[in-house]
Amino acid sequence: MVAHELRRRVRDRSALVTGFVAPLILTGILGFAFAGGGAVHPVRIGMAVAAPKVTVHGETRAGSVNGTGLVGRTLISEVVAAGRVAAALPDWVSTTTVSNPGALRREVADGVLDGGVIVPDNLGLTSKPVPDRTSSTPFGSRTRQSVSTRVSTSPEALSRLLTPVVSPGTGNVGDGLTVIDNRTSLVGAQAASALASGIAARVYAGVLTDSSARSHSIGSAVAAAARPPDISVAIETIGNAGHNVLYYFAPSIAVIFLFITAGLGTRALVAERSEGTLARMAAAPVRASSIVMGRLVAILGIGLVSMVVVWGATSLFFHAAWGNWAGVLLMCVGSTVAIGGVSVFLASWARDERQAFGIAMIAGLALALLGGNLLPPGALPGFLSDLSLGTPNGWALVGFGRLALEGAGVAAILGPLAVLGMIGIVFGAAAASRLHRMVES
d(CA 69, CA 76): 11
Nearest CA among 157, 170, 146 for reference residue 74: 157
Nearest CA among 47, 377, 375, 86 for reference residue 180: 47
Site string for other proteins, 364-403 (x = CB under 8 A): ----------------------------------------
Q: Choose one: 93-101, 111-119, 279-287, 298-306; the region binding other proteins (CB under 8 A).
A: 279-287
**Residue 123 or 278 with smaller CB distance to other proteins:** 278
**Residue 172 or 277 with smaller CB distance to other proteins:** 277
Nearest distance, CB of residue 359 and other proteins, angstroms: 23
Nearest distance, CB of residue 384 and other proteins, angstroms: 41
Q: Choose one: 88-96, 237-245, 277-285, 367-375; the region binding other proteins (CB under 8 A).
A: 277-285
Residue 298 binds to other proteins (criterion: CB under 8 A): no
Residue 61 binds to other proteins (criterion: CB under 8 A): no
Nearest distance, CB of residue 344 and other proteins, angstroms: 20
Integer CA distances (angstroms), 45 to 4, 61, 101, 187, 268, in order: 57, 27, 13, 10, 47
Query: Chain centroid to CA 424: how far?
Result: 22
Among 38, 58, 131, 285, binds other proteins (CB under 8 A): 285
Is the separation of the CB atoms in 111 and 400 below 8 Å?
no
Among 281, 293, 313, 329, binds other proteins (CB under 8 A): 281
- The letter for the amino acid at 185 is S
Q: Choose one: 188-196, 283-291, 305-313, 400-408; the region binding other proteins (CB under 8 A).
A: 283-291
DSSP 97-126: E-SSHHHHHHHHHHTSSSEEEEEETTTT--
Residue 277 binds to other proteins (criterion: CB under 8 A): yes
Q: Choose one: 61-69, 128-136, 237-245, 269-277; the region binding other proteins (CB under 8 A).
A: 269-277
Is the separation of the CB atoms in 192 and 108 below 8 Å?
no
Please state whether beta strands 177-181 and 231-237 pair in parallel, antiparallel, or not at all (unpaired). parallel
Nearest distance, CB of residue 234 and other proteins, angstroms: 57
Q: Residue 48: enclosing H or E segment and its boundaries? A: strand 43-50
- The letter for the amino acid at 219 is G
Residue 284 binds to other proteins (criterion: CB under 8 A): yes
